[in-house]
Amino acid sequence: MSLEANKAFAAVLTAGIAFMVAGFIGQQIVHPKRLDKTAITIEGVGASTGAPAAEAPALPEIGPLLANANVDNGRQIAGRLCSACHTFEDGGANKVGPNLYGVVGGPHAHRSDFNYSSAMAGLKEKPWNYEELNHFLASPSRYIRGTRMAFAGISNTQQRADVIAYLRSLAASPQPLP
C-alpha cells in the first residue's frame, strides 16, 4: 500500500474511533431516561392530572352575527367545504353525510333514512339550534365525540355564521333568528 493510501486509511479509522468514543461518552454523561411524570403541567391543558380534558375554549356567540350574515357567502363556503359529503336541496340524496335540508331546528340525526353514528343518534332528543351548530361546525369531533363527520371544522367565526345562515335558509319557512 502506498503511503498516501495508508494515511487516508488511518484518517478514516481514527475518525471512526473518535465517533464511537464520543457516542460512548455521550451515553455516560447524558443518561437518557423517560420521566415518570410530566415535568410541567400547564393549567387548562389537563395532561397528567387524570381529570377530564379541559373545556374547549369559549366560542363567541353566533346569534348576534346571524342577522347580518351573508347567506350567499355561506352557500359558496358550503359548496367548497361540505358538498363532497352533503346535499342541501329538498329531497336531496344522502351521501357520505345526510342531506341537510331543514336541519336547523330539526333534531340531531334529523334524517330517518341515514345511518348515523351512535354518538349523533344518541342526541336525537335535542334540536339543532344555532349555538349547537356553532359549536359542532367549529370542531365536530370535539363537540360530539364519536361523530362520523370527518371534518376539521370552520375556525373563522364569520364564515361559520354565514354557513349557519345558509343552512337556516334551507327550509320552506326558516327558523326565526335568535
User: Each residue of 90-104: b (16+ CB within 10 Å) or e?
Assistant: eeeeeeebbbbbbbb
CA dihedral sign of residues 141, 147, 152, 155: negative
Q: Which is nearer to ligand HEC, 110 or 168 (CB)?
A: 110
Say whether residue 170 binds ligand HEC (CB under 6 A): no
Considering only 75, 108, 135, 168, the residue that binds ligand HEC (CB under 6 A) is 108
Residue in the structure block whose three cell numbers are 343552512: 167
Binding to ligand HEC, residues 38-97 (CB under 6 A): 78, 81-82, 84-86, 96-97
Do the beta carbons of residue 166 and residue 154 sit within 8 Å? no
Residues ≥6 apart with Cβ < 8 Å to 3: none
CB of 51 to ligand HEC, least distance (A): 26
Intra-chain end-to-end CA distance of the chain, in Å: 91
Q: Are 104 and 88 in contact (CB under 8 A)?
A: no
Draw the binding track, 133-162, toward ligand HEC (x: CB under 6 A; -: no contact). ----x---------xxxxx--x--------
120 binds ligand HEC (CB under 6 A): yes
**Nearer Cβ to ligand HEC (85/171):** 85
- Name the residues that contact ligand HEC, by CB under 6 A: 78, 81-82, 84-86, 96-98, 100, 103, 108-111, 116-117, 119-120, 137, 147-151, 154, 163
